[in-house]
Chains A and B, each alone.
Chain A
Amino acid sequence: DGGITQSPKYLFRKEGQNVTLSCEQNLNHDAMYWYRQDPGQGLRLIYYSQIVNDFQKGDIAEGYSVSREKKESFPLTVTSAQKNPTAFYLCASSSVGRVEEKLFFGSGTQLSVL
């Protein structure tokens, strides 16, 4: 079945540590996105990529980094510069990244700070 796979489902970060969240899709979609979800705040865009080897910052990119070396993969690194990383992280994709396209989502990664 086609879809988006996020791993791990739960992740714990120690002080000063970088952690990487995995996102893989087999939908052959060009565009991929990372969102952060905090209770009562909806989803906020961290980064998005519409093509391999290119990505743009969203509203809350500080403290995060991404790469897009392969079409099917868009990993997100939460760096030590992100002082409040505890949140639910959702990866999404769309066919070519046009505004009218619906997004397909993974099942998310819950990141917590130890």
Chain B
Amino acid sequence: AQKVTQAQTEISVVEKEDVTLDCVYETRDTTYYLFWYKQPPSGELVFLIRRNSFDEQNEISGRYSWNFQKSTSSFNFTITASQVVDSAVYFCALTPHNDMRFGAGTRLTVKP
């Protein structure tokens, strides 16, 4: 079965706090891709990052960083020094086949 679990339904932090969004996935395929998308209040999902199953190197992009660990089937997303503009719903997704499997999403609220 292909499945993505985002156990944190909602997270609320105060501006400048660091926050980590968890993502755990299940797949029997050896080749797959993992993604993170951001859904702001406007509704459209915006691509943040893609990782393939053979590349476990962590990545940092500004205040965003991602930790991919195949041993625990996790692909966690950390926002450092959060800002109010980071408030959104964040989705983790998996593509072992042609269709993309999404987690239920984590709603992040950053308070000033």
Q: Which chain A residues border B102 with CB–CB below 8 Å?
A: 35, 42-44
At the interface with chain A, which of B13-21, B63-71, B72-80, B93-101? B93-101
Nearest CB of chain A from residue B1's CB, rounded to whole Å: 12
In the complex the two chains form, is B100's CB within 8 Å of A100's CB? no
Q: How distant is the Cα of A105 from the Cα of B76 in the complex, in angstroms? A: 23
Bits for B1-13, please: 1 = Cβ < 8 Å to A, else 0.
0001010010000
Chain B residues within 8 Å of chain A by Cβ, number: 26
In the complex the two chains form, is A42's CB within 8 Å of B103's CB? yes
Chain A residues within 8 Å of chain B by Cβ, number: 26
Q: How distant is the Cα of A48 from the Cα of B105 in the complex, in angstroms? A: 22
The reply to whether the CB of A55 lies closer than 8 angstroms to some CB of chain B is no
Nearest CB of chain A from residue B64's CB, rounded to whole Å: 15
Chain A, range 52-103, C-beta contacts under 8 Å to B: 58-59, 88, 90, 92, 97, 99-100, 102-103
Q: Which chain B residues border A99 with CB–CB below 8 Å?
A: 32-33, 95-98
> What is the total of A-B residue contacts with beta carbons within 8 Å?
60
In the complex the two chains form, is A40's CB within 8 Å of B44's CB? no
A40/B98 contact (C-beta < 8 A), A90-B44, A105-B45, A108-B44 known? no
Q: Which chain B residues border A100 with CB–CB below 8 Å?
A: 33, 50, 52, 95
Q: How distant is the Cα of A48 from the Cα of B99 in the complex, in angstroms? A: 8
Q: How distant is the Cα of A97 from the Cα of B9 in the complex, in angstroms? A: 30
CB contact between A40 and one of B4, B9, B96, B97 (< 8 Å): that residue: B9
Nearest B-chain residue to A38, judged by Cβ: B104
Q: Which chain A residues border B105 with CB–CB below 8 Å?
A: 40, 42
Q: How distant is the Cα of A33 from the Cα of B101 in the complex, in angstroms? A: 13
Q: Which chain B residues border A44 with CB–CB below 8 Å?
A: 102
| A–B Cβ pairs within 8 angstroms, 8 of them | A35-B102, A40-B9, A48-B98, A100-B33, A102-B35, A102-B47, A103-B47, A107-B44
Further 16 A-B residue pairs, CB within 8 A, beyond A42-B104, A92-B45, A103-B37: A40-B105, A42-B102, A42-B103, A59-B99, A88-B43, A90-B43, A100-B33, A100-B95, A102-B47, A103-B100, A104-B47, A105-B46, A106-B44, A107-B42, A107-B44, A108-B44
